[in-house]
Amino acid sequence: MNEKQIHEILKEKLKVDNISNDMNLRDDFNTDSIGLLEIVMELEDAYDIEVDDSSLQNFKTVGDVVNYFVGNDD
């Protein structure tokens, strides 16, 4: 799994054409906690990685999500 693959999933879920790691999930995309959970669940399924609740709360930016999933790709 790499950054580009995660960006593609995020763009599809957020219904946007462009995305960058510094974008804030809540502010730039108006994503609420349910929307964030749906995104994370799709990434969990796609990459067979389970995100614990404490990590989920740390996902503020696109980069936070990318770093978590790339860093836990074993």
Average pLDDT, rounded, for the chain: 92
Let me know: does 22 contact 63? Beta carbons within 8 Å: yes
Given the residues 17, 22, 32, 53, the one annotated as active site:
32
pTM of the model: 0.89
- pLDDT, residue 51, reads 93
Judge whether 17 counts as a catalytic residue.
Answer: no
* Main-chain dihedrals φ then ψ at residue 60, nearest 5 degrees: -105, -40
Task: Please give the Cα distance from 48 to 2 (Å, whole number).
Answer: 14
72 band by pLDDT with thresholds 50, 70 and 90? confident
Q: Please, is 70 exposed, middle or buried when counting C-beta atoms within 10 Å of its C-beta (0-12, 13-18, 19+)?
A: middle
74 band by pLDDT with thresholds 50, 70 and 90? low
Tens digit of each residue's pLDDT (9 = 90 or more) over 27-51: 999 999 899 999 999 999 998 999 9
